Amino acid sequence: MRKNLELLEESIGYKFKNLNLLKTALTHTSYAYENKVKSYERLEYLGDSILEFISSKYLFQNFEKLTEGEMTKVRAYAVCEDSLYKIALKHNFSDFLYLGKSEKSAHTDKKAILADSVEAVIAAMYLDSNKIEIVQNFILENIKDNIEFASKHIGTKDYKTVLQEKLQVHGEVKILYNIIKEEGPDHDKTFTAEVECDGKKLAIGKGRSKKSAEMEAARKAIKLLDKK
């Protein structure tokens, strides 16, 4: 499969010496399995650590008034799946992903895959350049706004807390989250959660973990309640 990776290089602002590194960073496990090549999993692992280090360093150097706990919360928001997904959309990563036939035909939400690929590309850029400064520029260019926002909204309640408060405004209610489906192999699972209130089903959400699936279900329930 041929892809014009030069367009992606132009978008992320880095020209690879070893283009195979970039290809691997964009190769999902489904494609890797079907074509007997390496997937982005190992690069994703390294990229996650680099992302955490760069964001932590930036917070430490530029937000002296934040406590350790507050910096952790800000970093968690700045580099969460949603934030990485938005970076992938900004640079049109979906046009360059190598997906296997099974993944293409599944019609599942590619949000997690795109988020993972961002971490993998970060690692690939570092390994290809051997310069943390280059990777740092890319990371900060894409997450500085998130950090600024999060630093001003520390303590913002998560979706499950907000939903609970909305549903209990007139008194106690019973809110339950149920994992109704698990899909995919152990290393690449997708969970589907359902949230209900006093036995009434409100919304369904998907995520790479049970917690993220429940949070997505809560977010969708809030959106539905706000429309009423």
Give the residue numbers marked as catalytic. Answer: 48, 119
Q: Which whole-number Å values give the CA distances from 195 to 169, 198, 212, 217, in the listed order?
A: 17, 10, 13, 6
Please spell the DSSP secondary structure of 124-181, one letter per residue. Answer: HHHHHH--HHHHHHHHHHHHHHHHHHHHHSTTPPPHHHHHHHHHTTTS---EEEEEEE
Q: Which whole-number Å values give the CA distances from 24 to 33, 82, 92, 107, 173, in the listed order?
A: 13, 22, 17, 22, 49
